């Protein structure tokens, strides 16, 4: 079941959604205050952010700040635009300014904390997210991003606790189950991880990444046959994913029956000739025995001949 670049992309997308919601609320608040110029620039800034044009949104939010420099929400708005443009130092400076102007407002701490999470700066993110939760205990996003940070720190038990809290408040968010499943899998709590991945799939059946993660969990359990359907589904959703193709081939190879053993031919022994070391030895022994017998017979015959002459 996940690399830092992909995780950063996902977190950035989530942060963008929260930013759009926050900015809309801030713009409406400003509009209520009756400052038409600032309200118009804020409205344009929101529209530009939602259209994926953060650089242009920065210009509009800067104009809002020029009109009303003491409002912390304007700095938070511009900070989210800077973050969407990948200008993290500028974003952090704006969030810090918002905190300076409104130290009791949870959103400044939350925005600065999640910006650190997006940059994989997990340690400095935790205190800001802690403060955001202290000031606004029902802020689901703060629990969610603190859970992300705890995963980044490999503190999986704390991550699970944060996702538990977030799920209590937002039970329909599939990413909460997916991330909690990852944390449980990292602790080798296989069955619980599978249950979370299954819930995430039920809530969003069109995400190939979660099928891959559930399949990987099955693979870690040596249950490759169960991994194969998930990998096949992931490929249907994302047919050009080379990594998923490789994983599927590997899983299929693990469940394929082994090939039948190849019979090893037994070599036929070559016929031996008569001139073997053993046969030669026997022949020599026979010759020696025959020579002795002949010698003994010759000596006996000679003795008998001599005796007859004497008689």
Closest CA to 49 of 80, 27, 76, 70: 80
- Model confidence pLDDT, tens digit, residues 213-222: 999 999 999 9
Q: Is residue 160 assigned to a domain?
A: no
Are 27 and 128 contained in the same domain? yes
Q: Calculate mean pLDDT across residues 215-240.
A: 98
Q: Calculate mean pLDDT across residues 193-201.
A: 98
Angle (CA) 250-223-156 rounded to 5° is 100
Q: What pLDDT score does 2 carry?
A: 41
For residue 20, the domain's CATH number is 1.25.40.10
Instruction: Please say which residue of 153, 181, 216 terminates a domain.
Output: 153
Q: Is residue 182 assigned to a domain?
A: no
Structurally, how many domains does the chain consist of? 2
Range of the domain at 16: 4-153
Residue recorded with tokens 């002949």: 294
Are 10 and 144 contained in the same domain? yes
Residue recorded with tokens 């490929």: 235
Of the ranges 9-23, 103-117, 296-310, which one carries the lowest mean pLDDT score? 9-23
Are 214 and 77 contained in the same domain? no
Are 241 and 129 contained in the same domain? no
Are 121 and 15 contained in the same domain? yes
Q: What pLDDT score does 29 carry?
A: 46
- Model confidence pLDDT, tens digit, residues 73-104: 999 999 999 999 999 999 999 999 999 999 99
Q: What pLDDT score does 307 carry?
A: 52
Q: Is residue 271 assigned to a domain?
A: no
- Model confidence pLDDT, tens digit, residues 130-180: 999 999 999 999 999 999 999 999 999 999 999 999 999 999 999 999 999
Are 17 and 148 contained in the same domain? yes
Q: Is residue 307 assigned to a domain?
A: no
Are 20 and 135 contained in the same domain? yes
Mean pLDDT over the full length of the chain: 86
Are 95 and 212 contained in the same domain? no
Are 39 and 149 contained in the same domain? yes
CA distance 239 to 139: 38
Q: What are phi and psi of 48, to 5 degrees?
A: -70, -40
Q: Report pTM.
A: 0.74
Q: Is residue 292 assigned to a domain?
A: no
Are 216 and 142 contained in the same domain? no
CA distance 224 to 45: 50
């Amino acid at each position: 079941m996940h690399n830092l670049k992909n995780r950063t992309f996902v977190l950035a997308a989530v942060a963008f959604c929260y930013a759009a919601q926050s900015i809309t609320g801030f713009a409406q608040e400003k509009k209520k205050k009756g400052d038409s110029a600032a309200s118009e620039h804020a409205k344009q800034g929101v529209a530009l952010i939602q259209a994926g044009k953060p650089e242009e949104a920065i210009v509009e939010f800067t104009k809002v700040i020029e009109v009303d420099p003491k409002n912390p929400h304007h700095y938070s708005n511009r900070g989210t635009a800077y973050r969407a443009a990948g200008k993290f130092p500028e974003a952090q400076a704006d969030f810090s300014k918002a905190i300076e102007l409104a130290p009791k407002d949870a959103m400044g701490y939350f925005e600065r904390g999640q910006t650190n999470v997006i940059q994989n700066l997990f340690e400095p993110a935790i205190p800001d997210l802690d403060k955001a939760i202290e000031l606004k205990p029902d802020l689901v996003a703060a629990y969610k991003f603190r859970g992300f940070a705890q995963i980044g720190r490999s503190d999986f038990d704390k991550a699970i606790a944060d996702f538990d809290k977030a799920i209590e408040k937002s039970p329909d968010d599939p990413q909460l189950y997916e991330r909690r499943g990852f944390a449980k899998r990292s602790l080798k709590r296989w069955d619980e991880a599978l249950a979370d991945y299954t819930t995430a799939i039920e809530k969003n059946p069109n995400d190939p990444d979660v099928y891959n993660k559930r399949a990987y969990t099955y693979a870690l359990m040596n249950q490759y046959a169960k991994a194969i359907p998930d990998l096949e589904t992931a490929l249907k959703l994302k047919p050009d994913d080379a990594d998923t193709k490789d994983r599927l081939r590997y899983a299929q190879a693990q469940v394929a029956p082994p090939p039948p053993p190849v019979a090893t031919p037994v070599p036929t022994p070559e016929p031996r000739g008569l001139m073997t070391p053993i046969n030669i030895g026997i022949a020599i022994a026979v010759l020696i025995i025959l020579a002795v017998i002949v010698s003994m017979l010759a000596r006996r015959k000679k003795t008998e001949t001599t005796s007859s002459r004497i008689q």
